[in-house]
Amino acid sequence: MSKEINNIAVFTSGGDAPGMNAAIRAVVRTSIYYNKKIYGIYRGYEGMIEGDIEELDARSVGNIIQRGGTILKSARSDEFRTKEGRQKACDHLKKKGIDALVAIGGDGTFTGLHNFYLEHKMPVICIPGTIDNDLPGTDFTIGYDTATNTVVDAVDKIRDTALSHNRLFFIEVMGRDSGYIAINSGIAGGAAAIIIPEDEMTIDQLVAKLDKGVESKKSSSLVVVAEGGKLGNALQIAEEVHKRFPYYDTKVTILGHLQRGGSPTYFDRVLASKMGVYAVEGIMAGKTDVMVGIQNGITVYNDFESTMVKNHEIEPEALRISKILSI
């Protein structure tokens, strides 16, 4: 039987995502509900290595459910990639009597947590928090819905000005090496073409598609480009296309980090609240080295290997639909 857990610590790590605060709140309040002590670790693995750890109570997480970012702050830590760094972190956790960890973050966070678990055998669980929605083992990650809505809002605004000037716009969105944000914001924003790493077209194919639009009297076009593709970034693609379309007034907008900010949508708040509760209940029930996920409405706990082997696949239906509707 696994040892009883009494002192849990929660932290956020990697790129922040809207809804992380709602997840922190859920982890803190669920721990208190089950009479556990709960600690917050500041600045992710960096704070763990430096011992930047504080006990939290139900009021410490009041008025944060609607706030973007993370009250615990976040960081990407090189030192935690080393055995020595993880040992320092473990020493600080032990000094505080912490006997379980809940991490909120993406694949880098889960990789660090997995290595920590293998070396120190402390129960650990990961809540998927990243705008990229690139983790298999859950239908949605916390922050993806908000980020995609932010992109759609921006695309709508760019459409107004594109139409007024008969321009061709390339809009670059985040996702690291995943096209999730791009494909669904492209469908929702009515893009003329969507370029994603999972289904890359050539410049020739893109030009042929845009040509067809011109032939069918499209006066402006929006192309959504996911970062991280082999064709290059939006600026490079726009340059190539402009060589073949010199008569088209081409513009580029890179949405960048504004996609990570803002108040989380209702969907991300509810997702984060559920996952926070399930993470604490899971770890109390002896689940460790797993990621909480929700698939088809069912709570699942997937182990590190099954979650980290590949990216969350883009739904084939989304690809098919985008091609039919972008003529």
Residues acting as catalytic residues: 132
Q: Which stretch of DSSP H or E encloses residue 7?
A: strand 7-12
**Closer Cβ to ligand F6P, 213 or 262, answer by number:** 262
Q: How far is the CB of 308 from ligand F6P (least distance, A)?
A: 15
Question: End-to-end CA distance of the chain, in Å?
Answer: 60
| Closer CB to ligand F6P, 16 or 99, in the complex | 16
176 sits near ligand F6P (criterion: CB under 6 A):
yes
Out of 20, 98, 131, 291, the residue judged to bind ligand F6P by CB under 6 A: 131
Sequence-ordered alpha helix ranges (H) in the chain: 20-33, 44-50, 83-95, 107-120, 144-165, 180-188, 203-215, 234-244, 266-284, 304-308, 316-325
Query: Using N-to-C axis directions, what is the helix angle for 266-284 and 144-165, rounded to 10°?
Result: 160
Q: Footprint of ligand F6P on residues 81-110 (CB under 6 A)?
A: 106
Answer for the pair 316, 323: CB distance below 8 angstroms, yes or no: no
Residue pair 225/172 in contact (Cβ under 8 Å)? The answer is: yes
Neighbouring residues of 188: CB distance < 8 A, sequence distance ≥ 6:
148, 152, 155
What's the closest the beta carbon of residue 12 comes to ligand F6P, in angstroms? 12
Of 123, 132, 103, 115, nearest to 13 by C-alpha is 103
CB of 47 to ligand F6P, least distance (A): 17
Nearest approach, Cβ of residue 108 and ligand F6P (Å): 8
Given 18, 175, 186, 276, the residue binding ligand F6P (CB under 6 A): 175
- Residue 198 CB, nearest approach to ligand F6P (Å): 15
In this structure, the strands spanning 249-254 and 100-105 are unpaired
Q: Considering CB under 6 A, how many residues would be counted as binding ligand F6P?
A: 10
Residues 240-269 touching ligand F6P, rule: CB under 6 A, are 260
Among the listed ranges 86-94, 114-122, 173-181, 265-273, the one in contact with ligand F6P (CB under 6 A) is 173-181
Measure the CA angle with vertex 128, ends 317 and 101; round to 5°: 160
User: CB 144 → ligand F6P: shortest distance, Å?
Assistant: 10
The mark string for 212-231 relative to ligand F6P (x by CB under 6 A, - otherwise) is: ---------------x----
- Minimum distance, C-beta of residue 323 to ligand F6P, in the bound complex (Å): 24
Q: Which stretch binds ligand F6P (CB under 6 A): 87-95, 127-135, 195-203, 272-280?
A: 127-135
Q: Does 132 bind ligand F6P (CB under 6 A)?
A: yes
Q: Does 130 bind ligand F6P (CB under 6 A)?
A: yes
47 φ, ψ (degrees, to nearest 5): -65, -30
Q: Which stretch binds ligand F6P (CB under 6 A): 25-33, 38-46, 84-92, 171-179?
A: 171-179
Does the footprint of ligand F6P cover residue 15 (CB under 6 A)? Answer: yes
For 129, which DSSP code? B
By C-beta, is 135 or 280 nearer to ligand F6P?
135
Alpha-carbon span 101 to 117, nearest angstrom? 10
Contact status: 182 vs ligand F6P (CB under 6 A): no
- Using CA atoms, how far residue 66 sits from 16, 61, 63, 263, 277, in Å, is 15, 11, 7, 6, 18
By CB under 6 A, is residue 135 in contact with ligand F6P?
A: no
**Residue 198: how many CB atoms within 10 A of its CB?**
16
Residues of this chain that interact with ligand F6P (CB under 6 A) are 15, 106, 130-132, 174-176, 227, 260
